[in-house]
Structure 1
Amino acid sequence: MTGLQFYKMSGSGNDFIIADNRDGKIAKDDMPGLAKALCARKISIGADGLVLVENSDQCDFKWQFYNSDGSEAEMCGNASRCVARFAYLNKIAGEKMTFETLAGVIHAEVLGETVKAGLTDPTDVKYFYALDVDGTTCNVTSMNTGVPHVVLLVGNIEKPDVEELGRKIRYHEAFAPAGTNVNFVEFRRGELAVRTYERGVEGETLACGTGAVAAALARVAADAALSPVKVLTRSGGYLYVHYKRVPGGYGNIFLEGDANIIYTGEIGPDALKLAQKK
């Protein structure tokens, strides 16, 4: 892995390390430890996740995606937009592309510095039901938008203790054993604001694409918000959730937003020493 080239990219504040692994230089068994080492903030590159691009027999490419704690995730909306732009800039795919994830085949289109990526249709959808959290009843919505999410409506986005309450819901027995991501959502005129406790990062992140989709669909169910739904992330950037009504619910989901290149570099030997210790 010495000399491995990488891009550091950010999608609305969700940041990722992305590298080309089509030559198979990084073995599957080494990926969790590498993700933990490289994503560690202050002592390494630092990121919410690691994305490795690999060859695919059916699509332009497939990805291996790992959270910063080394856990493998089925899907990540903001990472899907970043990896699409990475693939386009590195001539791995054209402006329109498909790639494999554990959640299924993703379609994406690069639109300059922004990317529009299709997500899998939501499953396991339950709108506005009571969830007991340590004796307090919370009115929540839950669904899987590639990964599991809970949406909790709040009157003021600044008030909830995202770390404490988010952790309790993330590990709630109702969502065991896999756990869930937790989104605190304030409905506003013409938009909604979201703060997310992310499973795998185990804390609040500046944005979550699949969480934005879950929040947007909760808004649609509540007051029939029109597509695209405008979502304000914690970073101050916006994501746009496109949807269509389909039999039994909502589908044809697309997530649109920025996919910024922060810097490019080469992984140094000391970072690899950290990886060997993880």
Structure 2
Amino acid sequence: MKINFFKYQGAGNDFILIDHTTSPLKNIDNELIEQLCHRRFGIGADGLMFITRHENYDFEMHYFNADGKLGSMCGNGGRCIVAFAKHLGIIDMEANFLAVDGPHYARISASGDWVDLQMIDVDTVTRDADAYVLNTGSPHYVIQQRDLDGFDVFTAGKSIRYNATYNEKGINVNFVEDKGDHLFVRTYERGVEDETYACGTGVTAVAMAMAKHKNQTGHITTDIKVLGGDIKIEFDYDGHKFTNVFLCGPAKLVFEGEVD
């Protein structure tokens, strides 16, 4: 059987997208998803998404990690699937869709390659020694790190992700360096089990953690650089709860094809 697919990337976070709007989603082959995401033996991606119809929303997003397992919310994936929905003609300039962590609203540029995605509100941020821990649709560990350019993110991130505290469910590990006019972020992602070029829920968590760390309140806009480019985070923070959270960045079609 041949499968039509589209490859998208959001700040270097890349995904395989498959249109499943004409039939119900069933009989998911997790081994096939893992194979398709493999960078040597497949198409290559950080994850795979199916877009399906939903009676109460413009569409529904189903996200699978590169290991073939059903994943938690993926922010950059959410932005890419909005661009894909526009490409398919399902939406125009705005979208209301359902993901694993609930409903999401998004705005898309006229060109179709820049998406502002509303993320969930967050009211719980805890500490693990010097790190901040919070859930922005996926669980994240945020810690500051000097000289991040040359830091071994893979080894350090893997050690935290699999330590005794987080091993059972795993956690995404974000290292951040404050550059003054922007934050530089590198992330080790569970499910991918490697460093990725960007992580949408991760940079959202970093922006929130740093706002809390600096005791900032009000409407906050944070410019973030990742290995794959530039992302902007906006939210309101009253010292207790983060609301009106938007993850803003590129979402671009790379290529489309057909695979057996």
Please report the TM-score for the alignment, with normalisation by the length of structure 2: 0.93
CA RMSD in angstroms comes to: 1.7
Q: What is the CA-CA distance between 1:194 and the residue it aligns to?
A: 0.5
Could you list the runs of 5+ residues in structure 1 that have no partner in the other structure? 131-138, 270-278
Q: What is the CA-CA distance between 1:63 and the residue it aligns to?
A: 1.4
Q: What is the CA-CA distance between 1:247 and the residue it aligns to?
A: 6.9
Partner of 1:7: 6
Partner of 2:237: 245
> SS in structure 2 opposite 1:248?
coil
Instruction: Report the Cα distance in structure 1 between the residues aligned to 2:24 and 2:243, rounded to whole angstroms.
Output: 37
Contact 1:149 1:183 in 2 (8 A): yes
Q: Deviations over 1:47-86 (max 9, x none)?
A: 0000100111211110110010012112000000000010
> SS in structure 2 opposite 1:55?
strand
Instruction: Report the Cα distance in structure 1 between the residues aligned to 2:187 and 2:42, rounded to whole angstroms.
Output: 24
Instruction: Report the Cα distance in structure 2 between the residues aligned to 1:18 and 1:160, rounded to whole angstroms.
Output: 32
Which of 72, 82, 85 is the aligned partner of 2:83? 85
Partner of 1:256: 248
Could you list the runs of 5+ residues in structure 2 that have no partner in the other structure? none
1:209 aligns with 2:203: no
Q: Deviations over 1:132-156 (max 9, x none)?
A: xxxxxxx101100000000010111
Deviating above 3 A after TM superposition, structure 1's stretches of 4 or more consecutive aligned residues are: none
Instruction: Report the Cα distance in structure 1 between the residues aligned to 2:169 and 2:123, rounded to whole angstroms.
Output: 15
Partner of 1:273: none
Q: What is the CA-CA distance between 1:221 and the residue it aligns to?
A: 1.4
What percentage of residue pairs aligned between the two structures are identical? 34
The 1:219/1:262 distance shift into structure 2, 3 A limit, reads same
Instruction: Report the Cα distance in structure 1 between the residues aligned to 2:23 and 2:158, rounded to whole angstroms.
Output: 36
Q: Deviations over 1:177-218 (max 9, x none)?
A: 211000010011110000100000000000001100111112
Q: How many pairs were matched up? A: 256
Partner of 2:187: 196
> SS in structure 1 opposite 2:137?
coil
The 1:28/1:254 distance shift into structure 2, 3 A limit, reads farther
Deviates more, 1:150-159 or 1:219-228: 219-228
Which of 113, 126, 140 is the aligned partner of 1:149? 140
